[in-house]
Structure 1
Amino acid sequence: MENRYFMYVLKCGDNSLYGGYTTDLKHRLEQHQSGRGAKYTKNHLPVEMIYHEEFDNKHDALSAEYHFKHQSRKKKIDYLKSHGVDVHREHLL
């Protein structure tokens, strides 16, 4: 079975944005929603996955996560908008 690598973005209950990396989107979202995903999201529930992007290798997915996390909120929103995501709307991914 071929590995899949994802960078994903969660919209948290306080409307903050969280970027992460995983090989299993469904399982990782379940972890975050149950409070076992990350310290940050545990304190900002509920969470909703509003974006994900697949990469060919782990390095590229982790690099995308790193670059997303180290941007201002405005740049994060601009990035998401450029990928067709309106962070001010309700999403079902």
Structure 2
Amino acid sequence: MSNWYVYLIRCADDTLYCGITSDIERRLKQHNAGTASKYTRSRLPALLETFVQVDSKSDALKLEIQVKKQNRNNKIAFLHKAVS
């Protein structure tokens, strides 16, 4: 069983991008190279704001959806509270 992470990236325009990955470092490098997502490609540099580890890809996908439903000011707190 591999580790999965839900992460938040703060883009250059101060927006937050939420995603999932099994390798945080690789994914952040992809974002900053402009090859990870269309959203972050035009908002570089992207800085890792926070991340949490979950048990499975399924759990990561479900948590990502929940985080994306939160308003901008609550995303970080919600992410950490969801796995506590």
**Shorter-chain TM-score tier:** 0.7 to 0.9
Shift, 1:79, TM fit = 2.7
Give the 3-state SS of the residue equivalent to 1:15 in structure 2. coil
| Partner Cα separation in structure 1 for residue 15 and residue 26 of structure 2 | 21
The answer to whether the Cα contact below 8 Å between 2:5 and 2:21 also exists between their aligned partners in 1 is yes
Tell me the C-alpha RMSD between the 2 structures: 1.9
* Distance change in 2, residues 1:26/1:4 (3 Å): same
Change beyond 3 A, Cα 1:82–1:62: closer
Instruction: Determine the C-alpha separation between the residues in 2 that align with 1:71 and 1:24.
Output: 24
In structure 2, what is the equivalent of residue 45 of structure 1? 44
Equivalent residue letter for 1:3: S
One-letter amino acid of the counterpart of residue 58, structure 2 = H
> Percent of aligned positions with the same letter in both sequences?
37
Cα deviation code 1:30-82 (max 9, x no counterpart): 00000011000001111000111001111111111111112221222543686
SS in 2 for 1:51: strand
Tell me the distance in 1 between the aligned counterparts of 2:5 and 2:35: 19
Partner of 1:18: 17
Match of 1:72 in 2: 71
When normalised by structure 2's length, the TM-score is: 0.86
Between the aligned partners of 1:35 and 1:5, the Cα distance in structure 2 is 22
Q: How many residues align structurally?
A: 82
What are structure 2's unaligned runs of at least 5 residues? Answer: none
TM-score by length of 1: 0.78
- 1:25 counterpart letter in structure 2: I
Unaligned segments of structure 1, at least 5 residues: 84-93
